[in-house]
Amino acid sequence: MEQELSYGSDYKFIPATSIGSGVGVSVAADVYCHTIQIVNICLVGAPGAKEFVLVDAGMPGSADDIIALTEERYGAGSKPQAIVLTHGHFDHVGAIIELVKHWQVPVYAHELELPFLTGKTKYPEPDPSVEGGMVAKMSFMFPNEPINIGHQVNPLPADGTVPHLSGFRWIHTPGHSPGHVSFFREQDRMLIAGDAFITVRQDSLYKVIIQEEEINGPPRYLTTDWQAAWDSVKKLRDLHPSTAITGHGVPMSGEPLTMGLERLVNEFAQIAIPDYGKYTDRNPH
Ligand SMILES: [Zn+2]
Ligand SMILES: [Zn+2]
């Protein structure tokens, strides 16, 4: 079965980083958020716990770092019970094949994301022409070919539960990608939002590097359905999250999160949707 696991043909290390790279923060007693270059992964499970889950799988080439991190938190030889994915973009599945081979654990993702994870469909090409600075302009080098993790990946259960992540439910938040999901825990209103919205302006290389806190729409160069992305942000705002971990940028909580989300919902067209680019119809070209 192992030979069917493969990255896309354009898979490669991406030389992008931020001030937060290698830094982690405990967002709750059992939720840890760690930055790999420019993307966040999440470990859910208290330190030393026997059972924990990894949310998203980092940048290409980061498997050793992720394994070291989990062993530091949960002990030598520890492994998560599952890897759950917010979506399948390269910066969220960058180390997944090494991790799956090392740990032999199941992966879960939304049904609509499975074609991109089983070698069937490639993502639309990133749009380097989109309005918005250096990261967008770098995006031509971002991989968009599908990876193939074959039978290791399973659809999230239709009832909204998340395997091995008790207390959390998944919420379909498409727009940035068709099967994008966020994870929400009612008990403490903890939201793991993936790239449904992010807390850094990824269209500014400077702000990516310094990780200045600012709620923004999904990364522009890979978002293809802006109306769905807007609806997804509304859905997440309506959950009234008290803390949010996003795929890019620092975790936010309380008033700045509430205000930032409200502003994003109300001014989505101005804040999030690019003025030009191939996936925006406001200014088709
Ligand atoms: Zn993404
Ligand atoms: Zn991302």
pLDDT tens-place string over residues 12-50? 988 888 878 888 999 999 999 999 998 999 999 999 999
Long-range (24+ apart) CB contacts under 8 A made by 135-138 are 135/16, 135/202, 135/203, 135/204, 135/205, 135/208, 135/219, 135/221, 136/203, 136/220, 136/221, 138/16, 138/205
Give the tens place of pLDDT for each residue, 165-207.
999 999 999 999 999 999 999 999 999 999 999 998 766 666 6
Share of the chain above pLDDT 70, in %: 92
66 phi and psi angles, rounded to 5 deg: -70, -40
132 C-alpha to center of ligand 2: Å?
A: 16
For residue 271, give every residue at least 6 positions away whose Cβ sits within 8 Å of its Cβ, in sequence order, or none.
216, 217, 263, 264
Question: Around ion ligand 2, which residues have CB less than 5 A away?
Answer: 91, 195, 247
Give the tens place of pLDDT for each residue, 77-114.
999 999 999 999 999 999 999 999 999 999 999 999 99
Q: Which of 221, 227, 170 is nearest to 193 (CA)?
A: 170
pTM of the model: 0.94
| Mean of the per-residue pLDDT values of the chain | 91
Say which ligand is closest to the CA of 180. 1
Distance separating alpha carbons of residues 102 and 214, to the nearest angstrom:
36
Question: Around ion ligand 1, which residues have CB less than 5 A away?
Answer: 89, 195
Beta strands (DSSP E) in 130-266 are 153-155, 168-172, 181-185, 190-194, 243-246, 252-253
218 C-alpha to center of ligand 1: Å?
A: 8
48 C-alpha to center of ligand 2: Å?
A: 28
Distance separating alpha carbons of residues 279 and 285, to the nearest angstrom:
10
Say which ligand is closest to the CA of 14. 2
Alpha-carbon distances of 56 from 88, 129, 173, rounded to whole Å:
9, 27, 16
Say which ligand is closest to the CA of 41. 2
Tokens found for residue 221: 């160069």
Token match 């919902």: residue? 265
Alpha-carbon distances of 211 from 147, 188, 206, rounded to whole Å:
29, 25, 8
- Is 239 in contact with 48 (CB distance < 8 Å)? no
Q: Which of 57, 60, 86 is nearest to 69 (CA)?
A: 57
Q: Are strands 31-36 and 168-172 parallel, antiparallel or unpaired?
A: unpaired
159 burial via Cβ count (<10 Å: 0-12, 13-18, 19+): exposed
- Is 210 in contact with 117 (CB distance < 8 Å)? no
86 C-alpha to center of ligand 2: Å?
A: 9
Confidence band for 285, pLDDT divided at 50, 70 and 90: very low
Tokens found for residue 157: 């259960």
Confidence band for 284, pLDDT divided at 50, 70 and 90: very low
53 C-alpha to center of ligand 2: Å?
A: 19
